[in-house]
Structure 1
């Protein structure tokens, strides 16, 4: 394939989010979760495996949605796959977004997420200056893209950003800072 589809790779931020959720299932356990820009569905699958009550995976690319459906079947998880994330009218507890800020225009989604969910978790390795209140950096994870694309090391430094309605209202919410490294 001369120009592979961007979502067939497990980008560093998606990989970091998967490992984070599987290591810290309390972030999704029992929650209604939406994976925005799901690509091949790895984050949605991790949320389901970590105990989310209900998971939606959204992507505008119909081939990505087909891949997500196949990957969900292969992993024996139930995930509702949708194109437009706004068609999910059920209440959400958490929105997950990994590797979606590669295009600065996508920053506008950060405001839309908090209008729709009381909690958002974003994993990103591309934005170097992330000053976007009410989101706050809660940690940095070391990760990598599969397959190895020989990307610069800086793209393996994945930051996690969190929004929580209660924290934003200045009510203590007990969110700890996360530091972790995942070896290849």
Structure 2
């Protein structure tokens, strides 16, 4: 597995080695010891989540606050998605920075997202399956988020706003300056 840094401290792209032969394809999608070595400490995933989204569905930008913050390891099993993370760790060198990457069934890339980052994605194909592991359980009382079109973040989602399919809950999320004045 090849591991690459991003502009956000502690956020990594994982590219698996893919073995192809007459039978098909094999790849290792998770290796705890390799990831723990990279992170310099223990990591225990406790929950796996999966969503299926049609083209132009935008989910996010979500995060869990405080003691319920979650590190995630995400990948697209089917389809394609524009994956977006924002560093919300006030003491981080990359505080308020944005990182985007296309994850897909075609490139097999994964993204490790440390605790303290907001996360969202835009499905680029119908029936895009996004799967991710979390190192903490979901806790409704700690959920929060940043509005997808926050001008401070200036995220280019690649399609006109009018074509985005967004839940009412996500349309009511706050601006970054409201959360971190």
Q: What is the TM-score of this pair, normalised by structure 2? A: 0.27
Higher relative contact order (CA 8 A, sep 6+): 2
**Quick check: which one's helix share is greater?**
1
**Quick check: which one's strand share is greater?**
2
Structure number, greater radius of gyration: 2
